[in-house]
Structure 1
Amino acid sequence: MFAWQTPLSNAWQESLVSSARAQAMGVDSLLLTGATGFIGGNLLVTLINVGLVERIVCLVRGASVADALARLRAAAVRCGLPHARAQRITEANVMVGELGSAFSEIDLARLAKASHVINCAALASFSTHPQVLDTNVHDTLRFASHFDGSKALRRFLHVSTAMACGTQCGANVQEAPFGYGETRHLVQYTRSKREVERLLRSTYPRLPLAVVRPSIVVGHTVLGTLPSASVFWVFRVVHGARRFTARAMNRVDVVSADDCARALALLAVKPSLAFDTYHVSAGSDAPTIGQIIRAMDEATGTSGRRYSMCRARDFGRIAREVVGRERCGSGRLIEHALRLYAGFAELDYTFDNRRLRDEIGFEPLPFTDYVSECVRTSRGVGIAEQMRWDFK
């Protein structure tokens, strides 16, 4: 066992769930968006586990209520809810629609009853998808407009991303609302999340808004990559190639989806918060690239040549090594994706999480401690297949 590894402990998870269960008594009706996604699905499971199943309404796309319900149950099972418990999710937990929907009078009445809203919905794609701005900015603002001035609403928790900070920050990014100036971004997704944060604050100043910015969410501490393989494929490529454009000492701020979900749940139901902006991140405990590679060596039972830095022009060769020369289309996509993720890794960011640690006692399991589960659940799954989680 390496020096940075710690025994798997459920202490923080159990105490957080216990605390959330006690504070959930103050929730009359909780509206959740994005519940069929990676973070949202894990959050749904957490909310059910703290006893809120009869008070949750999920906004879900679907051809019908039955179709939306089937999608919701499947997402919960994928994120670890037993099949028998998933049957407790009923049509009463479903509102068919999406952020930009024109809601019926009945659904508007349901929205008006919400005492708590958690907005996880977003188009979380690193591709140049034409709908990123429409969904993440315009539709989100339209959705928030339904709660402006609500007498019932006590918390509107908006899930952003830590990388909404852009590329011009110091090594340790602080938890604070963004200013109004322009900043550079590597992908349109992070730009859209910064813009909607700004507009939510300025357009709806009466909204009881709390913004939560997860860092890089990778895997699940128990289920590994089964709920989603997002981003983990990058670590597989770097581990196999033993080279990347970032230094071995660069830190990568990673949290698991289940730790992220537990933090979101408690921030949503806690009666009062000290701040209106939080990072859900590893912070100063974020591992280095070198530490991650050594943990993956242990998980795979292999070791390779020493890690070294390469240049971006080498990504084409690395991509061909990964997929083989006969699948040149996938190789080109992997090369493009590696260039994007290299941009993030080269920033060497960690995201300060002292607010969250003080607020709820946040103690996430280090990525190097559960990377073995991600490795185990990735066996037999191709890199190109896993990559599609990020390039929808």
Structure 2
Amino acid sequence: MFAWQTPLTTAWQDSLTSSTRMHVVGIDRLVLTGATGFIGGTVLVTLMNAGLIERLVCLVRAANAAEALVRLRASAVRCGLPHTRSQRLTEANVIVGDLGDDFTEADLARLAGASHVINCAAMTSFSTNPQVLAINVRDTLRFASHFIDRQTFKRFLHVSTAMACGTQCSTVVRESAFGFSETNHLVPYTRSKRDVERLLRLYYPTLPLVVVRPSIVVGHTVLGTLPSASIFWVFRVVHGARRFSAKAMTRLDVVSVDDCARALALLAVKPTLAFDTYHVSAGSEAPTIGQIIGAMDEATGISGKRYSICAPRDFRNIARDVVGRRSSGAARLIEHALGLYAGFANLDYQFDNHRLREEIGFEPLPFIDYVSECVRTSRGIGIVEQMRWDFK
């Protein structure tokens, strides 16, 4: 069954524990993509803890199967699996390749034997890199085509992003499929995720598709930032500066990677689902910026001046305070990143998660309850070093 290392609400824990054994019985082979990434690696550990290693196949980019296995084991260990248990992974658990590759006949046969897919693979860059569109749309569609009209295939769970909704929604964003109207986006990444959702439904209407949209995924409730420091460095900057362009009462919809992975795993293996679109989010329980800063004050033992709103033009000075005036390149990168994240924060979105709560009893640990672990695991690590998780 799933192994839990953190205190969970009774409903969430009971939902996971009681349903696991029954659900895994109906899985012939589960294909996981993106298993060397932050979310995908944590899903990998979750599935292994569920006893699915014999039925698990991961698509891994590598020169050969041996290299793919090394990468897969390293990802599992980084995401919390003991090293000794990671050695249970073998070359039987890997298919070498990318989403858009031409697979060998042997690997095509292995894909054809899949009953379930969890597609975590994506290019998550906030840059204008043309590969964002190529990988997240074209290659994803090509990969999904391998599972069309197969009688034994039961579910293609596609991991999207809550911000695929764009910038023109009401404050509460509902869990529903997107229409075909044009929307504005802050970065190409979120547009690509919206586009591929629509195209998967348009091109492959018979695909048993379930779209899951995580909100802001930050840290691990036990491991803190060890699996990935993605985005947490932004909170460190804002906490140190005591200013940002969003109000103190602005809510930030943050979930931990392990709560996200548990939800993805259950939605993938549950025999029947009431809907085909879900948010993995904090929803109405999302903390405010003020609450997050207060929790970080408590975790660090350091409190500064009162938080205040600043103008985007002040981001340059904030960045220089972080890295010093000599590191102009890093300062420009921080300034640019703060501008992007400010754009998301100022939307003040709350991603409704009623469907997920009713479907699997989802009760995520609030960010302010595990931010201390993120702080603890960030001690002695520079902000610029942590930024590398987002700007590789």
Report the residue type matching 2:45 in the other structure. Answer: V
For structure 1, which segment, 204-213 or 321-330, has the greater mean C-alpha deviation from structure 2 after superposition? 321-330
After superposition, give the CA deviation of every residue in 1:234-257 in whole Å (9 maximum; x if it has no partner).
100000000000000000000000
Q: Please list, as runs of the form range in 1=range in 2, the aligned pairs for 1:207-246 lying within 5 A after superposition.
A: 207-246=207-246
Report the residue type matching 1:41 in the other structure. Answer: G
Call closer, same or farther: CA 1:14–1:226 in 2, change over 3 Å: farther
Structure-1 residue corresponding to 2:308: 308
Deviation at 1:127, TM superposition (A): 1.8
Report the residue type matching 1:239 in the other structure. Answer: H
1:378 match: secondary structure = coil
Structure-2 residue corresponding to 1:255: 255
* 1:283–1:350 Cα contact (<8 Å) kept: yes
* 1:137–1:192 Cα contact (<8 Å) kept: yes
Structure-1 residue corresponding to 2:106: 106
- The CA distance in 2 between the partners of 1:389 and 1:350, in whole Å, is 25
After superposition, give the CA deviation of every residue in 1:179-229 in whole Å (9 maximum; x if it has no partner).
101100001100000000000000000000000000000000000000000
- The CA distance in 1 between the partners of 2:235 and 2:318, in whole Å, is 13
* 2:215–2:351 Cα contact (<8 Å) kept: yes
2:32 match: secondary structure = strand
Structure 1 residue 296 and structure 2 residue 293: aligned? no
* 2:15–2:361 Cα contact (<8 Å) kept: no
Structure-2 residue corresponding to 1:339: 339
Structure-2 residue corresponding to 1:266: 266
For structure 1, which segment, 250-259 or 147-156, has the greater mean C-alpha deviation from structure 2 after superposition? 147-156
Q: Please list, as runs of the form range in 1=range in 2, the aligned pairs for 1:121-132 lying within 5 A after superposition.
A: 121-132=121-132
Structure-2 residue corresponding to 1:115: 115
Deviation at 1:391, TM superposition (A): 2.0
- The CA distance in 2 between the partners of 1:102 and 1:62, in whole Å, is 14
* 1:13–1:259 Cα contact (<8 Å) kept: no
Deviation at 1:380, TM superposition (A): 1.0
Q: Please list, as runs of the form range in 1=range in 2, the aligned pairs for 1:1-392 lying within 5 A after superposition.
A: 8-9=7-8, 11=10, 12-13=12-13, 15-392=15-392
* 2:214–2:281 Cα contact (<8 Å) kept: yes
Deviation at 1:388, TM superposition (A): 1.8
- The CA distance in 1 between the partners of 2:43 and 2:17, in whole Å, is 12
1:143 match: secondary structure = helix
Aligned length: 386
Report the residue type matching 2:316 in the other structure. Answer: G
- The CA distance in 1 between the partners of 2:17 and 2:45, in whole Å, is 11
Structure-2 residue corresponding to 1:4: none
Deviation at 1:384, TM superposition (A): 1.2
* 2:15–2:360 Cα contact (<8 Å) kept: no
Deviation at 1:17, TM superposition (A): 4.3
Structure-1 residue corresponding to 2:3: none
* 1:8–1:369 Cα contact (<8 Å) kept: no
Unaligned runs of 5+ in 1: 1-6
Unaligned runs of 5+ in 2: 1-5
- The CA distance in 1 between the partners of 2:225 and 2:62, in whole Å, is 25
- The CA distance in 2 between the partners of 1:17 and 1:198, in whole Å, is 34
Report the residue type matching 1:126 in the other structure. Answer: F
Deviation at 1:8, TM superposition (A): 4.2
Report the residue type matching 1:215 in the other structure. Answer: S
Query: What RMSD, in angstroms, separates the aligned Cα atoms of the two structures?
Result: 1.1
2:220 match: secondary structure = coil
- The CA distance in 2 between the partners of 1:41 and 1:52, in whole Å, is 14
Deviation at 1:164, TM superposition (A): 0.2
Deviation at 1:13, TM superposition (A): 4.0
Report the residue type matching 2:110 in the other structure. Answer: R
Deviation at 1:385, TM superposition (A): 1.4
* 2:9–2:363 Cα contact (<8 Å) kept: no
For structure 1, which segment, 148-157 or 274-283, has the greater mean C-alpha deviation from structure 2 after superposition? 148-157
For structure 1, which segment, 61-70 or 19-28, has the greater mean C-alpha deviation from structure 2 after superposition? 19-28
* 1:267–1:273 Cα contact (<8 Å) kept: yes
Please report the TM-score for the alignment, with normalisation by the length of structure 1: 0.97
For structure 1, which segment, 143-152 or 200-209, has the greater mean C-alpha deviation from structure 2 after superposition? 143-152
Report the residue type matching 2:217 in the other structure. Answer: V
- The CA distance in 2 between the partners of 1:26 and 1:144, in whole Å, is 21
- The CA distance in 1 between the partners of 2:173 and 2:388, in whole Å, is 29
Please report the TM-score for the alignment, with normalisation by the length of structure 2: 0.97
For structure 1, which segment, 120-129 or 56-65, has the greater mean C-alpha deviation from structure 2 after superposition? 120-129
- The CA distance in 1 between the partners of 2:142 and 2:116, in whole Å, is 17
- The CA distance in 1 between the partners of 2:13 and 2:73, in whole Å, is 23
Report the residue type matching 2:236 in the other structure. Answer: R
Deviation at 1:325, TM superposition (A): 1.1
Q: Which runs of 4+ in 1 moved over 6 A?
A: none
Deviation at 1:94, TM superposition (A): 0.4
After superposition, give the CA deviation of every residue in 1:24-51 in whole Å (9 maximum; x if it has no partner).
1111100000000000000000000011
- The CA distance in 1 between the partners of 2:186 and 2:385, in whole Å, is 23
* 2:8–2:363 Cα contact (<8 Å) kept: no
